[in-house]
Structure 1
Amino acid sequence: MSKVSNYIGNTVEEMKDKVSWPSYGELQSSSVLVLIGSLVFALVVGAMDFVFDSTLSWFYNQF
């Protein structure tokens, strides 16, 4: 049991003293960047889906 409490104590110490946490401004700019990247990715995947769906519908309607 002492190994578990030692592990937890070391983890808490590392999170407090050794981890460099971003400032609020850095966090906001990173969040905006992730949001924009996600939207661009969603638009690209949506466009690909639309093109493939249209192409396959056209192909199947030829028969």
Structure 2
Amino acid sequence: MTKVVNYITEAFVELKTNVTWTSWAELQRLTIVVAVFSILFALLTFGIDSAFEVVVKNIYSFLKS
């Protein structure tokens, strides 16, 4: 059990001393960039999916006739 506690303690010390954290302003800016690109990618995926849906419906209606 001592090894686990020691490991967790050393991990916290490492996080405080050796990790370089971004500033709050940069974190907010990058979060907005990721959110915008995620929304754009979702809309692009939706558009392509809708286009394929129309194409497949047209192919089936052509083959059905």
Q: TM-score band, normalised by the shorter chain?
A: over 0.9
Gaps of 5+ in 1: none
CA apart distance, 1:5: 1.0
Gaps of 5+ in 2: none
TM-score for both structures, normalised by structure 2: 0.90
TM-score for both structures, normalised by structure 1: 0.92
Moved over 2 A (4+): none
Matched, 1:52 2:47: no
Q: How many residues align?
A: 63
Question: Over aligned residue pairs, what C-alpha RMSD do you find?
Answer: 0.8
Between the two proteins, what is the percent identity of the paired residues? Answer: 35
Alignment of 1:1-63 (within 5 A): 1-62=1-62, 63=64
Amino acid at match of 1:12: F
